[in-house]
Amino acid sequence: MNFAKKKPLWIGVITAATLLVVTLANIDGAWSFIDRITGDDSGGATQIARTPALPPATTTTTTATTTSGTPTSTSTTSTTGASTSPSSTRTTSAEPRTADGWYDLVEYQSVSWNNGFDPVDPIRIGAASFPSSIVGYYPSSSSDPMNKATWTIGGGCDRFSAWIGKDSESSSSAGVGRFVIKTDDREIYTAEMAMNDGAREVDLDISGAVRLTLLDTRRSQDAKNAWGRPRVHCATAPGRKR
């Protein structure tokens, strides 16, 4: 007689399922171990998309240059790591040198020009006539020099030339005018002229001077003062044209 009790069916099912899970886990672990050895990581790896780097920025610089009156343009393209805005540079050459190196001062900008000076073309001193000239017609004194102008000539000039006297077109023939020339605020020439005096030539060495000043004095009832064609001899133009 068999006295052993029969086990319920559900216990067998659970036991079989447990064995199956353990077996599958061991198989999966084995495959994972093999994958790590062989370097095959594609099964569970996440693919990361790489974005290509942007190309370096290109900067174009345009330079316009005026040489001897003829504009030219040069374009330069450079590559940098960061984008920059285009830039433009313009270089203008100085005024061309005259054939003989002489420049009429009235044709160039002054750094100061007082109310009593006016450019005149031409002006008469006695019987002589001069182009590109200056008339001093305000009452003017050393303490209140209304007839005065200063130019920055930059140290590149070596001679100053002018003719001085009284303006023949003045309504009065009275008085004596005093003419003063300064370089860098230092007086280098002075003269007094009356209506009966003829035009007097002034020729001075101004080598190395940076600033040139012309001034004259007169009373209100006096004849006007005249600067006949004041000019400078320079290696380059004494500033910008008016």
- 181: domain CATH number? 2.60.120.1060
Residue 94: which residues within 8 A CB-CB, separation 6 or more?
Answer: 236, 237
What's the whole-number mean pLDDT along residues 124-140? 98
90/127 Cα distance (integer angstroms):
48
| Residue 24 within a domain | no
* Residue 76 and residue 169 share a domain: no
Domain containing 157: what range?
Answer: 102-234
Shared domain for 64 and 147, answered yes or no, is: no
Same domain for 112 and 220: yes
CA distance 211 to 166: 25
Report yes or no on 163 lying in a domain: yes
Degrees, nearest 5: CA angle 171-172-176:
135
- Across 68-82, 109-123, 136-150, least confident range: 68-82
Cα separation of 162 and 228, whole Å?
A: 6
pTM for the complete prediction?
Answer: 0.61
Does the pLDDT at position 113 exceed 50? yes
Over residues 4-47, the pLDDT tens digits come to: 455 566 666 677 666 665 555 555 554 554 455 454 444 444 44
Specify whether 78 is located in the same domain as 106: no
Quick one: average pLDDT of 45-70? Answer: 44
pLDDT in tens, 73-104: 444 444 444 433 333 333 334 566 677 899 99
* 140 in any annotated domain: yes
Same domain, 141 and 229: yes
Same domain, 66 and 141: no
**88 and 131 housed in the same domain:** no
User: Same domain for 140 and 223?
Assistant: yes
Task: Give per-residue pLDDT as tens, 199-214.
Answer: 999 999 999 999 999 9
Reported confidence tier of residue 186, pLDDT bands at 50, 70, 90: very high
In a domain, 4, yes or no: no
88 and 115, same domain (yes or no): no
Residue 156 belongs to some domain of the structure: yes
CB 138 within 8 A of CB 146: yes
**Could you tell me if residue 181 is inside a domain?**
yes
Task: Provide the residue type at 230 as one letter.
Answer: P
Let me know if residue 138 belongs to a domain.
yes
Cα–Cα distance for residue pair 176/115, rounded to 1 Å = 20
164 phi, psi to nearest 5 deg: -120, 155
Burial 14-29 (b: 16+ CB within 10 A, else e): eeeeeeeeeeeeeeee
Q: How many separate domains does the chain show?
A: 2
